[in-house]
Chains A and B, each alone.
Chain A
Amino acid sequence: MAVTKTEPINSSSNKPSSSSVSMKSDLMSALSLKSLKLKTKQQELLIRVSILCLVYVLAFITRLFSVLRYESMIHEFDPYFNYRTTLFLTEKGFYEFWNWFDSESWYPLGRIIGGTLYPGLMVTAAIMYWGLRFLRFAVHIREVCVLTAPFFASNTTLVAYFFGKEIWDTGAGLVAAVLIAICPGYISRSVAGSYDNEGVAIFALLLTFYLFVKAVNTGSLAWGLGSALGYFYMVSAWGGYVFIINLIPLYVLVLLITGRYSMRLYVAYNSMYVLGMLLAMQIRFVGFQHVQSGEHMAAMGVFFLMQGFYFLGWVKHLLGDKKKFEALLRIIVTCAVGVGAIALGVGTASGYISPWTGRFYSLLDPTYAKDHIPIIASVSEHQPTAWSSFMFDFHILLFLFPAGLYFCFKRLSDATIFIVMYGLTSMYFAGVMVRLILVATPAVCLISAIAVSATIKNLTTLLRTKSKVSQTGSTKGASGGKGSSKALPDQSQPFQRNGAIALLFGAFYLLSRYAIHCTWVTSEAYSSPSIVLAARGAHGNRVIFDDYREAYYWLRQNTPADAKVMSWWDYGYQITAMGNRTVIVDNNTWNNTHIATVGRAMSSYEDEAYEIMRSLDVNYVLVVFGGVTGYSSDDINKFLWMVRIGGGVFPVIKEPDYLVNGEYRVDKGAAPKMLNCLMYKLSYYRFGELVTEYGKPPGYDRARGVEIGNKDIKLEHLEEAFTTSNWIVRIYKVKPPNNRW
């Protein structure tokens, strides 16, 4: 769908300066909206409101691909945990939810869920559910969960409109709303079914920033309170709130240094910081970090700096102009800075102020995670971003972003400085970690919207002044800068006009290509539920693999209620949510030693692994195997991470034991430890007899593309309980020890 945007008639600020102009607008209005007899200002309002309504609906429906293709279900892994907690919240109530201790995961340790999650998403979905129920709509909580993210994406477009209006003007706001409605960087984490924190958090982020910029622009305490409440919502929704609490002090610092500070800044920042900090500490997961963690110290430092700065400014104002004051001032300032630095140093050295945690430290030093924390390094979303990802997620916004920066620098104000800083810092972080492209998306959309809006406005202004040759229209020409019609020779005018028309067509072509690209990306790349796999059959028909849910429902229906399932941590949330069984480790990954124990069990020989499994009371083991279907995200491909994580805690597991000349193989030339470890045996049990592809020998692994080395596998302590129809999920039962010696 091609989105062609015509610039709304920019008449709310310019009054028509001559009679023929007003005649022309009357003619146009008479032709177009004859029956309504609206004034120009009302026309503009109508156009704006209808555009916003269309954009609202567009943002919602473009995220519904997977619901239409498959069914309304929750995607991926993390959303299953969020769904389970939301279900618990709606069934048991808020008090039970807030104090929930879950013994069904991380057996035998359990997990304090009430204190270790961000409740914003669940509470939002529960409130919507209760609201709909109150209105007697009998919805199921799963539907509400699935559609939460698209709904909040639509709300984000509205906030983007207001934010654009605040920074530049209404035209930029409209373009920003359109761009962010379909931008793939945002869609990737907010499709229907992706019930994850980011779906709500980006809305909260943009809302907080908008309210803060509004507070700085107006200097009103009410807007400052609003931004503090927005910040509270953000803290309750996502751990990325650290970005806000560092960007805003940085912005204040920049304003102080460049001399653009004012009283409004004081009011806005202080109200937001004090109220926001207090509100944030109500979330148990965040706790006292705002006063104890190194990541939050910048805000506190800027707070104290501001107090000192403005106090000194007030004293100076009281005294008038005193020379000796300056000398004393210098002494006072150096003393204060010295005391502050000593306090910070003592706090950090004594460990009271905790240093930056590994996850955020790896943003500043990208090589840190690979050497020190393999779990962070193993997540594919934490890898540095490639250029292709940027192009994929942003398309034309990539080159509109620098253009927008240029326009922002041309018209510097408090608001544009903020958006420039937001854009630059978020682009840096997007370059360090793939999943942070999401945080950069609103900034990129806003700045690109400024570029688009300003360019198109200039071009249409050129067009419209050129068409009225009689009057010079100096008021209109002032905004263009591309040559007003004041003193131009006649023969260059048609060239300018043609040039403007050609450029306008070019702009519309680019925007329509953007829309096509975004829709294609949404449809092809970001709408897969990952729990249901689709492939093309031999005749081009679509084949659906629903093995995951098949296995989880088998677990739910065929195992005793207190059975414990051991699997790699990726599947923990899904097993607890759909299989309703206790798991050993899950996606929360809070306990590295426990995960390393599981990793060690998977990489050991069957006897040692059996010891470990008996000590953990494991009844069933679940592995994911892609050899029959060619599914490449299976456990054998993840196996080296199990070895690394296990080896990180238990030195008995050494990675070179599983490699041959540094190469990871599963065929005849593989390392003997690899061919006999538990993971290999569980994945390839009875696989040696299966013919997977025409013309290949039995036991041909389609995911690795080789024939497996050890076809004759015998299991001593486990027995096969269930294998799904496409062999993707395999479940084994751990046999109790023998009765006799």
Chain B
Amino acid sequence: MGRATSTDAQALIHSLRSAYAATPSSLKIIDLYVGFAVFSAIIQVVYMAIVGSFPFNSFLSGVLSCIGTAVLAVCLRIQVNKENKEFKDLPSERAFADFVLCNLVLHLVIMNFLDRSGNELATGIGDMISDSPGKYQVNHHFYDLTTLESCHGSW
């Protein structure tokens, strides 16, 4: 069974490779870009696992920018690929323009999100009537004097 699976896997990989070699080079460039983005996301996650996740917003913005641009590139690839019947009428310039626009918005938001001081204070404060999804069980230690000081200190 094991022998059969490994030969199967080898045959699979072989046929995958030969099928993939047939794709047009423009799509291969996009695939390279996606692979690079996912790879850098993985590096960042590994780094976070080693070093710790503070400040969390920076970690999130780094990882999400990689994942985000990878996903957008995959969407571009889908739209540009000649084999997809649904996107036959879409000119590839339009697809690329959409891709650039979305990436622009993505990175603008990332730049805002990279440095958010004082964010941890706001989490954990529940709000009933104003419809917040915060935690209801109040933790008093969020409001001891030290946090009040840092609250005043940061602005």
In the docked arrangement, what's the CA distance between A472 and B119, Å?
71
Interface residues of A in 182-217 (CB under 8 A from B): 197
Cβ contact within 8 Å between A589 and B129: yes
Q: Which of A228, A266, A319, A588 contacts B78 (CB 8 A)?
A: A266
- How distant is the Cα of A475 from the Cα of B109 in the complex, in angstroms? 53
Identify B64's interface contact among A238, A274, A285, A379, CB under 8 A: A274
In the complex, which residue of chain B has the Cβ closest to the Cβ of A264?
A: B86
Chain B residues with CB under 8 A of A109: 143
Complex: A593 Cα to B9 Cα, angstroms: 63
Asked if A454 lies at the interface with its beta carbon under 8 angstroms from chain B, I say no
Q: How far is the CA of A286 from the CA of B119 in the complex (A)?
A: 10
User: Are B143 and A287 in contact, with the CB atoms below 8 A?
Assistant: no
Q: Please, how many residues of chain A have a CB less than 8 angstroms from a CB on the other chain?
A: 73
CB contacts under 8 Å to A, within B1-54, are: 5, 8-9, 11-12, 15-16, 19-20
Residues of A within 8 A of B9 (CB): 328
* A272-296 interface (Cβ within 8 A of B): 274-275, 277-279, 281-282, 284-289, 291, 293, 295
In the complex, A81 has a CB within 8 A of chain B = yes
Q: How far is the CB of B52 from chain A (nearest CB, A)?
A: 14
Pairwise interchain contact A375-B16, C-beta atoms closer than 8 A: no
Of A118, A285, A319, A588, which is within 8 A of B19 by CB?
Answer: A319
Is there an interface contact between B109 and A282, defined as CB atoms closer than 8 Å?
yes
Which A residues are CB-close (under 8 A) to B56?
288
A275 touches B136 (CB 8 A): no
Residues of A within 8 A of B12 (CB): 319, 322, 324-325, 328
In the complex, the answer to whether B138 meets A593 with C-beta atoms within 8 Å is: yes
Enumerate chain A residues within 8 angstroms of B121, measured Cβ to Cβ: 112, 115
- Given contacts A221-B102, A278-B68, A319-B15, are A287 and B123 in contact (CB under 8 A)? yes
Query: Roughly how many angstroms separate A242 CA and B134 CA in the complex, as a whole number?
Result: 12
Asked if B119 and A284 sit within 8 Å, CB to CB, the answer is yes
Give the docked Cα–Cα distance between A593 and B106 (Å): 42
Q: Which residue of B lies closest to A355 (CB)?
A: B135
**Chain A residues whose CB sits within 8 angstroms of the CB of B130 once the complex forms:** 78, 81, 116-118, 197, 239, 587-588
Asked if residues B110 and A270 are in contact (CB atoms below 8 Å), the reply is no
Using an 8 Å CB-CB cutoff, how does the interface string of A301-339 with B read, 1 for contact, 0 for none?
000000000000001001110101101100000000000
Task: Let me know if B129 and A379 touch, CB within 8 A.
Answer: yes
A287→B122 contact, CB < 8 A: yes
* Cβ–Cβ < 8 Å partners of B8 in chain A: 324, 327-328
- B129/A587 in contact, CB under 8 A: yes
> A84 → chain B, closest Cβ, in Å?
13
Q: Does A713 contact B (CB under 8 A)?
A: no
Bound complex: CA A318 to CA B14 (Å): 12
With A197-B130, A266-B78 known as contacts, the answer to whether A281 contacts B113 (CB < 8 A) is yes
- Give the residues in chain A near B127, CB-CB below 8 Å: 116-117, 285, 588-590
Task: Name the one of A219, A588, A592 contacting B129, with C-beta atoms under 8 angstroms.
Answer: A588
A278 adjacent to B134 (CB under 8 Å): no
Q: Flag whether A359 is at the interface (Cβ < 8 A).
A: yes
Among residues of B, the one whose C-beta sits closest to the C-beta of A281 is: B113
Is A274 a contact partner of B125 (Cβ separation < 8 A)? no
Q: Mark A335-368, 1 if CB is under 8 A from B, else 0.
A: 0000000000000000000100111100000000
Contact A219–B136 (Cβ < 8 Å): no
Given contacts A266-B75, A271-B75, A277-B64, contact A197 B131 (CB under 8 A): yes
A221 touches B79 (CB 8 A): yes
Q: Write the chain B residue with the least CB distance to A101.
A: B151
Q: How far is the CB of A394 from chain B (nearest CB, A)?
A: 23
B118: chain A residues within 8 A (beta carbon): 115
Q: Which residues of B contact A327 (CB under 8 A)?
A: 8
Q: For A263, list chain B residues within 8 Å (CB).
A: 78, 84, 86-87
Contact residues in A for B140 (Cβ distance below 8 Å): 593
B109: shortest Cβ distance to chain A, in Å?
5
Chain A residue at minimum C-beta to C-beta distance from B138? A591
Are B95 and A78 interface neighbours, CB within 8 A? Answer: no
Q: Please measure, in the bound complex, the distance between the C-alpha atom of A110 and the C-alpha atom of B5, giving whole angstroms.
A: 66
Complex interface: chain B residues within 8 A of A288 (CB): 56-57, 60, 123
Shortest beta-carbon distance from B9 to chain A in Å = 7
* Assembly CA distance A109 to B86 (angstroms): 59
Q: Does A403 contact B (CB under 8 A)?
A: no
Question: A219 contacts B86, CB within 8 Å?
Answer: yes
| Cα distance A358–B127 in the bound complex, in angstroms | 11
Q: How far is the CB of A263 from chain B (nearest CB, A)?
A: 5
B99: chain A residues at CB < 8 Å are: 221
A9 CB-CB contact with B under 8 Å: no
A101 touches which of B71, B90, B95, B152 (Cβ 8 Å): B152
CB atoms of A267 and B155 under 8 A apart: no
> Contact at B71–A278, with CB atoms within 8 Å?
no
What sequence of 0s and 1s flags, for each residue 52-74 of chain B, a beta carbon within 8 Å of any chain A beta carbon? Answer: 00001100110010011001101
Given contacts A101-B152, A221-B99, A288-B57, contact A116 B15 (CB under 8 A): no
- Contact: B128 with A116, CB < 8 Å? no
Which residues on A sit within 8 Å (CB–CB) of B5? Answer: 328
Q: Contact check, A225 vs B16: say whether CB atoms are below 8 A apart.
A: no
User: Smallest CB–CB gap between B14 and chain A, Å?
Assistant: 11
A638 to B111, CA, bound (A): 49
Tell whether A588 pairs with B75 under 8 Å between CB atoms, given A291-B60, A322-B15. Answer: no
Contacting residues, chain A, for B60 (C-beta < 8 A): 281, 288, 291
Q: Which of A197, A295, A590 contacts B125 (CB 8 A)?
A: A590
Q: Is B132 an interface residue (CB 8 A)?
A: yes
Q: Are B86 and A320 in contact (CB under 8 A)?
A: no
The answer to whether B136 touches A373 (Cβ under 8 A) is yes
A-chain residues with CB within 8 Å of residue B106 when the two chains form the complex: 274-275, 278
In this complex, what residue of B is CB-closest to A306? B71
Which one of B112, B132, B133, B134 lies within 8 Å of A282 (CB-CB)? B112
A587 to chain B, nearest CB (A): 5
Q: B115 contacts the other chain (Cβ, under 8 Å)?
A: no
Residues of chain B in range 135-155 having any CB-CB distance to chain A below 8 Å: 135-136, 138, 140, 143, 148, 151-152, 155
CA–CA, A592 and B137, complex, Å: 8
Bound complex: CA of A136 vs CA of B155, how far in Å?
34
Report the bound CA distance from A116 to B119 in whole Å.
Answer: 11
Mind listing 15 A-B residue pairs with CB under 8 Å?
A78-B129, A99-B155, A112-B122, A115-B118, A222-B98, A238-B131, A267-B75, A271-B102, A274-B64, A281-B113, A285-B122, A318-B20, A319-B12, A357-B135, A592-B136
Extra inter-chain contacts (7) besides given A110-B148, A239-B131, A284-B122, CB under 8 Å: A221-B76, A221-B79, A225-B98, A239-B132, A325-B12, A357-B134, A376-B136
Name A residues whose Cβ lies closer than 8 Å to a Cβ of B: 77-78, 81, 99, 101, 109-110, 112, 115-118, 197, 219-222, 224-225, 228-229, 238-240, 242, 262-264, 266-267, 270-271, 274-275, 277-279, 281-282, 284-289, 291, 293, 295, 315, 318-320, 322, 324-325, 327-328, 354, 357-360, 373, 375-376, 379, 587-593
B contacts, CB < 8 Å to A: 5, 8-9, 11-12, 15-16, 19-20, 56-57, 60-61, 64, 67-68, 71-72, 74-76, 78-79, 84, 86-87, 90, 95, 98-99, 101-102, 105-106, 109-110, 112-113, 116, 118-119, 121-123, 125-136, 138, 140, 143, 148, 151-152, 155
Q: Which 5 pairs show the lowest CB-CB distances between chains A and B? A: A115-B122, A239-B131, A221-B98, A589-B128, A318-B19
